[in-house]
Amino acid sequence: MPCAEGLRGDVGGRAYRGNMRILHTSDWHIGRSFHGHSTLDALHGVLEALVAQVRAQAVDVVIVAGDVFDSAAPAAGCYTLLTDTLVSLRDAGAQVVVTSGNHDSAARLGFQARLLRDGIHVLTDPLAVGTPVTLTDAHGPVHVYGIPFLEPALVRHLWQGTELRTQAQTMAHAMGLIRSDLATREGRSVAIAHCFAAGVEPTAGVEREIRQGTLDVVPLSVFDGPDYVALGHIHGRQQLSERVRYAGAPLHYSFGEGDKPRGSWLVDLDAAGLTSVEWLPLPVPRRLTTLRASFDELLTDPRFVEFEADWISAEYTDPTPQLEPMRRLQARFPFCATVAHTPVGARADDGLTYAGRVREVRSDAELIDAFLSHVRAGDGADAREQELIRDVLDERVVVEASA
């Protein structure tokens, strides 16, 4: 069992304050790309800002609640960023407790545990769920329990005789182990988990893999017991109760998250338990903006000047598709990441195949109009286009007659 470790007492008035100060962060997703662009440099800057906050706020413990990496086999540069950040947090005076999420390989993340210096705890073993990392401050011990992401099908063999078919059952079992251990101890406690808890708002920045069916939802009552529960898995900040929260991701990873604040929770525990929770915002390296207008407006309208340095998701409303829209938009918006054709007033699909559209045509003009209607979601030639078509066809007749 990890022995009790003392915390620093000489930084930023920490000894005078006497409380334990915790910074709750999660879902770093080191290595994730953003529409084909690397996010490593941007995340590096944001994590440097987080380290500065830890130093400025005299944080005692930093909790990273899962999804440290974005994949089970991250590139070498991802390990470098993680190791550098963890060491920087320790140099800033804080202990660090890290758990694995569904994107992490628990084995690969756990491999680093013994290589890291004292004060950095990487918790990835399901069988150690009921064994805390115990830290101490002026008021006594604080027991920190880490629950790695528990996939029922992969862990049920570890606890024979217990029905573990859903996330709710699996998390309930893990929290039961924690409460049983807590009953034998004195002091305050914190639990860390990576799951989808009941009560999360649908617009919170839900992880892309989460199924919102009943199998994956963990009731809030499962987390009864600890003084604070630090959750990961949701990319948007969420407060499910005063003591159960999601910190969200430190970086925006999709346009759906663009309006969600980025940051972490600053948590204070006094002698009696939870005393205060404060949101600490993190810088946004580049805003995410969705613009919707006609293609010409997107290219020229001065009202979009303020967004020219943003990540852009462009939706142009013209009735017809534009030629090379991404290349043309990037001339104005260098960080345009996605382009979608979303015509205003587009007709509903009539279900006709091209063969069905041309079956009854009686002239070349009607054939061209049927083709345009087929490739433009029901929009045939407008008046100006009909005039051009007639001119071209008339010119062809003249050429053929003179041949």
Residue 58, pLDDT score: 96
Instruction: Delimit the domains of the chain by residue range.
Output: 5-281, 288-341, 354-402
Buried b (16+ CB within 10 A) or exposed e, 244-277: bbbbbbbbbbbbbbbebebbbbbbbbbeeebeeb
CA–CA separation, 184 and 189 (whole Å): 12
Residue 259, pLDDT score: 87
Q: For each of the chain's 403 residues, which pLDDT tens digit applies?
A: 455 555 554 444 444 457 999 999 999 999 999 999 999 999 999 999 999 999 999 999 999 999 999 988 889 999 899 989 999 999 999 999 999 888 877 666 655 555 556 889 999 899 999 999 999 999 999 999 999 998 888 888 888 878 888 889 999 999 999 999 999 999 999 999 999 998 887 555 555 544 444 447 899 999 999 999 999 999 999 999 999 999 999 999 999 888 899 999 999 999 999 999 999 999 999 999 999 999 999 999 999 999 999 999 999 999 888 999 999 999 999 999 999 999 886 555 556 665 665 566 667 777 777 777 766 666 677 788 888 888 887 776 656 666 6
Provide the β-strand partners of residue 38. Answer: 33
- Torsions phi, psi for 24 (to 5 deg): -100, 115
Buried b (16+ CB within 10 A) or exposed e, 330-351: bebbebbbebebebeeeeeeee
Long-range contacts of 275-281 (CB under 8 A, 24+ apart): 275/19, 277/228, 277/242, 277/245, 279/237, 280/23, 280/53, 280/57
Dihedral of the alpha carbons of 147, 153, 158, 161, in degrees to the nearest 10 = 110
Residue 14, pLDDT score: 47
Residue 13, pLDDT score: 43
Q: Report the top-level CATH class of 5-281.
A: alpha beta
CB 216 within 8 A of CB 167: yes
CA–CA separation, 327 and 309 (whole Å): 16
Residue 222, pLDDT score: 95
SS3 labels along the chain: CCCCEECCCCCCCHHHHCCEEEEEECCCCECCEECCEECHHHHHHHHHHHHHHHHHCCCCEEEEECCCECCCCCCHHHHHHHHHHHHHHHHCCCEEEEECCCCCCHHHHHHCHHHCCCCEEEECCHHHCCCCEEEEECCEEEEEEECCCCCHHHHHHHCCCCCCCCHHHHHHHHHHHHHHHHCCCCCEEEEEEECEECCCCCCCCECCCCCCCHHHEECHHHHCCCCEEEEECECCCEEEECCEEECCCCCCCCHHHCCCCCEEEEEEEECCEEEEEEEEECCCCCCEEEEEECHHHHHHCHHHHHHCCCEEEEEECCCCCCCCHHHHHHCCCCCEEEEEECCCCCCCCCCCCHHHHHCCCCCHHHHHHHHHHHHCCCCCCCHHHHHHHHHHHHHHHHHHHHC
